[in-house]
Structure 1
Amino acid sequence: MKVFISDDQEEQRLWLTDIITAQLDELNFNYELASVWQPDDVLQAVKMTSGPNIYFLDIVLKQATNGIELATKIRDYDPDGFIVYVSVRDDMLPETLSAMTTPTGFISKMDLFNKAKFVPRVREVLTVIKKRLTTLNEAPEPTLSLHSGALLLKLKLTDIVYCEKVHGLRTARIVTEHQAYLVHKNLSTIKEQLGDSRFFNDFQSYALNLDKIVTIDFNKGWITMMNGDRLSFSRGTIKKLRAYYQTQE
């Protein structure tokens, strides 16, 4: 988890950093303080992290992008991140809500540099974040559960490398790194349970775990998976995967 503090007033940013990091340490957060604060730099850093991260954003930034606009863009890459506005513009609180950035908190700068009043507000927000992180971590890991004849199959989605349709039969093969399972289910039925962002389901005969892809040769139509299997596709088919990656850039 990274913590971003975006404020264009250096004195205020440094003071906020001292206050926020002290509270993070006291509450035993496992975090890394990001060194960037300008909107463009923050977005580039967010693209390189998996999240959820914590963002303390000033609303009025003397930049091309203000804090609310920055939060809106952050949501494209870190939908579960925790956004906290820290601003003297209390009147803009309704705007932060109408922009649908789903803020975790709003801390007024009216008492900035007054530790006695400011620290409890930071601690209150971080305590809420801590509780929500605990809930997220305790959530059950997504699984694929199937009944196929006498077989009851329950696999963690993270363990699945790919699923493929067995042609000519209403059967599919589910492949993990160490084993393969033949099930009497349509691949489309299986894909309904793979509604997880890690799977690419746009191939008619395959569902691929994007985290398990090792190499892709778009010219030859080859995809090598983490278990060593090399899957072959026509150029017309594999271009769907190329298009997906282009949307992630």
Structure 2
Amino acid sequence: MMIDVYICEDDVKQLEQIHTIVRRYLMIEKLDMRIAMATADPQAILAEADNQHQRLYLLDIELGTPMNGIELAQKLRQVDVNCKIVFITTHAEMLTLTFKYQLEVLDFINKDEPEALQARLIQILNLAQTRLTSSQHHQAAYVQFKVGEQVRSVRADEVLFIESAQVPHKLIVHMANAQFEYYGTIKQAATLNKNFYRCHKSIVVNQTCITVINKRLHQLTVSNGETIDCSVAASRALAKLVRVSKM
């Protein structure tokens, strides 16, 4: 899987410098990586965050916005526990905060040593590729849900389906022997994993957990025996995607 590199730096000149170093090295070495975004806006970075891709974030700490690099890293880590984060900054005194907030930073590059910037970036690109490729082969896919103030990680293959609760903006995650609620939208839930499919306006099903597709009743049966509603269009689409009993 290709690794996406995201750069967030508020100094236009330094942003261009980092972008150029990374772009040239990736082009020369033909690494399975690409620059997905280079911006001064942390909100733009955050808007792209998910846990379905291999990602490396190169972040400045002082971004000149209400959200600094430490806060951005916290939010990114909540969404993607496996992403790699590197700080490129002059604020070496803030290094201790990365331990306080348990950010698991891959590295820290001091801008006060510009002559070493290229070498350090190249070193980090190679290290990130090694670490992320290794984790891709050895870790099962997980999805993260923010439950209250905590982030709950669940194996994607253990999620049967997600449905809207009676409380507005609240969803229920159904597993084989448990369920829990969290705040979110059905639209967003469908993007959490490649096997999640929106089968109804209020339901997202895990395609790998479907055992029966009943096109007559517009229902699906999942692996624990529960039945859920399915739209006519989704029934037809899933019948082509999933090899299970059809009625």
The two structures have a TM-score, normalised by structure 1, of: 0.60
Whichever residue aligns with residue 215 of structure 1, its letter is C
2-structure distance, mates of 1:198, 1:224: 8
Whichever residue aligns with residue 23 of structure 1, its letter is Y
Alpha-carbon shift at residue 36 of structure 1 (Å): 3.7
Name 1:200's counterpart in structure 2: 159
Whichever residue aligns with residue 2 of structure 1, its letter is D
Name 2:106's counterpart in structure 1: 104
Name 1:30's counterpart in structure 2: 33
1-structure distance, mates of 2:83, 2:55: 5
1-structure distance, mates of 2:84, 2:108: 11
2-structure distance, mates of 1:205, 1:128: 38
Whether 1:44 aligns to 2:44 is no
1-structure distance, mates of 2:174, 2:139: 28
The residue correspondences of 1:1-249 to structure 2 (distance < 5 A) are: 1-27=3-29, 28-47=31-50, 50-112=52-114, 114=115, 117-139=116-138, 196-200=155-159, 203=174, 211-218=195-202, 228-229=213-214, 230-231=219-220, 232-233=227-228
Name 1:238's counterpart in structure 2: none
Please list every run of 5 or more consecutive structure 2 residues that lacks an aligned counterpart in the other structure: 142-153, 161-172, 179-189, 221-226, 230-247
2-structure distance, mates of 1:222, 1:97: 37
CA 1:63–1:217 in structure 2 vs 1: closer, same or farther (change >3 Å)?
closer
| Structure with the largest fraction of strand | 2
**Count of residues paired in the alignment:** 177
CA 1:121–1:40 in structure 2 vs 1: closer, same or farther (change >3 Å)?
same
Does structure 2 conserve the Cα–Cα contact (< 8 Å) formed by 1:23 and 1:122? no
1-structure distance, mates of 2:104, 2:204: 41
1:65-119 deviation per Cα after TM superposition (whole angstroms, max 9, x unaligned): 000000000011121111000001112111122221111000010122x3xx221
Tell me, what secondary structure is at the counterpart of 2:32?
A: coil
Task: Indicate the structure (1 or 2) with the bigger Cα radius of gyration.
Answer: 1
1:44-72 deviation per Cα after TM superposition (whole angstroms, max 9, x unaligned): 1114x622211100011100000000000
2-structure distance, mates of 1:45, 1:222: 21
CA 1:42–1:123 in structure 2 vs 1: closer, same or farther (change >3 Å)?
same
Name 1:160's counterpart in structure 2: none
CA 1:213–1:134 in structure 2 vs 1: closer, same or farther (change >3 Å)?
closer
1-structure distance, mates of 2:136, 2:206: 31
Whichever residue aligns with residue 63 of structure 1, its letter is T
1:202-224 deviation per Cα after TM superposition (whole angstroms, max 9, x unaligned): 548789x9725341244xx8979
Whichever residue aligns with residue 108 of structure 1, its letter is N
Please list every run of 5 or more consecutive structure 1 residues that lacks an aligned counterpart in the other structure: 143-194, 235-249
The two structures have a TM-score, normalised by structure 2, of: 0.60
Whichever residue aligns with residue 74 of structure 1, its letter is L
| Overall identity of the aligned pairs, in % | 21
